[in-house]
Amino acid sequence: MANAPVKKVPIHLQSSQNRLLIKNGRVVNEDGMEDADVYIEDGIIKQVGRNLIIPGGTRTIDATGLLVMPGGIDPHTHFELEMMGAKTADDFYKGTRAAVAGGTTTIIDFVLPEKGQSLVEAYNHWRQKADNKVCCDYALHVGVTWWSPSVKKEMQQLVEEHGINSFKMFMAYKDAWMLNDYELCQVMETCVELKALPLIHAENGSIIARNTEKLLAAGVTGPEGHALSRDEEVEAEAVNRACVIANQMNSPLYIVHVMSKSAVQALRLARTRQKQPLFGETLAATIGTDGSHYGNACFRHAAAHVLSPPLRARDTPAAIVDALAHDDLQIIASDNCTFHEKDKELGKDNFSKIPNGVNGVEDRMAILWQKAVNTGAMDPCRFVAVSSAAAARAFHLWPRKGRVAEGADADLALWDPRRERTVSAHAHHHAVDFNIFEGTHVIGSPQYVIVNGRVCLDDGELRVVEGFGKFLPTPPAAPAAYGARERTSDASDAPPADTPSPRASPVYTNGTPTELSISNKQMEGLSVSGCSTPTGRKMREPGQRDLQNSTFSISQELEGLDTKTSVRVRNPPGGKSSGLW
Ligand code: URP
Ligand code: ZN
Ligand code: ZN
């Protein structure tokens, strides 16, 4: 028999197979820090600890002075979204490239169907837009922008067949995406049936519509009218109403983009009576800038800051940082939704026509570090919690994502707490030439970013690969949202049933953990930092690779040629991407 031809390993596969050792760094997780090395193979963290035995041919990164943190998870982006007569400027390539540049290694985008459009059709469209472009892993939420029995059926299909576990509803954008209270009840009930997490855009759309009519009639047409039409009370009323509806439907709830002190106060009050977990998300924009920009005489400048809910008074950023530090809010996202200047100009004569959205996916982590860690409001552990781990928990990606531990995906940000830079549109990676954080001096940024084991920011140089990321199916019944009401009897292969609700998360006061007993429970089932867990039990998320076998094998990789990564990297190193590590 003739010799079988030697199979060549494609160069991009070789690179994804490489071994990587991160040495001398300080590993930071949501529940603690330790000096430890991290060994990565085949995109997975294989060992965390000291004096590791490492095979030859391993690249070593010296992380002396760096913090080795889980890559950021930004659970709120809008790439290639058509809204208000325009399309967002950042597509899935540029958007995820900017994300990686800033230390974020997973994003969750929103499928937003038109009213009357099939949800599954819209989902398929989003997958088509994203799959070949994403530079890091991504998951999807789906918007429920209209209601009918067919929508309910499609929600079930999306959960059972398409890896969706969260649905966004709008209480604003009247005549476009807004649902009425009766519909919100039905969507939430359906979420509970499916064990999916309902997400809410909380603003009173009817009040906004009426205020807008009055402002325009009074001759207020500029961007300042945007903020005037929707003050804090308009947001807080909707937050309260959403919480009441969720409580009545016995549903967990996640409020997206909480922008004001009044909304935080509404959340705080709701938590005293809420039966099910209640998550609050805020934005980098909220802590990094403020509503004073709406008064800027330059339309381009003021319009670039228009998003909904709007930026607030000057004392809001500090108050929101405080809310994040004390667990009134759990998550910071970006709501990245950039528009070119020509699109913002659609609202030149009428503020209600300015496409809503700002940048943030690239600067989210640095802005949080600057405003929260450098000010002493948060310690690095809480930073990891709000920028990564809490989102992983809420959307059932934890502990595969959001944690530096054996068995987790090798998504890491190697953070230099001393690196100084000034944020500017001249240096950012977005498709737009405006940055709402322009001129902000930050101390602390990533020096290396590792995406599924590949060094994509290499000593400050960006080397992403278009199409390298993969879609992350998110299973329903996230313990963080549904664990409290249903405990698994046999926990051998499942996440701990007592994964804390947002309310039960560790609370930090001036950087000091005050509820560390909970952290120990969170550790159960995981081998953390090279130490055995109390139970010695390892946990595997659905779809996660078998981690027992840590032996490098080209033949195994060839067998796995049908994996998404191997077939979807359209631009291997040397093409659009630049180089190997
Ligand atoms: O202004 C915003 N937030 N634009 C994006 C759409 C949304 O409501 O999240
Ligand atoms: Zn929204
Ligand atoms: Zn949004």
pLDDT digits (tens, 9 = 90+) for 104-158: 999 999 999 999 999 999 999 999 999 999 999 999 999 999 999 999 999 999 9
- Ligand 1 in contact with 305 (CB < 6 A)? no
Amino acid at the residue 272: T
pLDDT digits (tens, 9 = 90+) for 217-273: 999 999 999 999 999 999 999 999 999 999 999 999 999 999 999 999 999 999 999
Query: CA angle, corner 125, sides to 408 and 94, nearest 5?
Result: 60
- Ligand 1 in contact with 308 (CB < 6 A)? yes
The whole-chain average pLDDT of the chain stands at 85
Output the residue whose Cα is nearest ligand 1's atom 3.
308
Ligand 3 ion: Cβ-proximal residues, 5 Å cutoff: 335
- pLDDT of amino acid 48: 98
- Ligand 1 in contact with 565 (CB < 6 A)? no
pLDDT digits (tens, 9 = 90+) for 160-213: 999 999 999 999 999 999 999 999 999 999 999 999 999 999 999 999 999 999
pLDDT digits (tens, 9 = 90+) for 500-549: 435 423 333 333 322 222 222 222 322 222 222 222 222 222 223 222 22
Residues in CB range of 380: below 8 A, 6 or more apart: 28, 33, 67, 69, 373
Confidence of residue 5 (pLDDT cuts 50, 70, 90): very low
Atom from ligand 1 closest to the CA of residue 170: 8
- Ligand 1 in contact with 382 (CB < 6 A)? no
- Ligand 1 in contact with 42 (CB < 6 A)? no
Q: How far is CA 281 from CA 153, 167, 335, 484, in A?
A: 28, 15, 10, 20
Query: Do the strands 67-70 and 19-23 form a parallel or antiparallel pair, or are they unpaired?
Result: unpaired
Length of the chain in residues, anyone?
A: 581
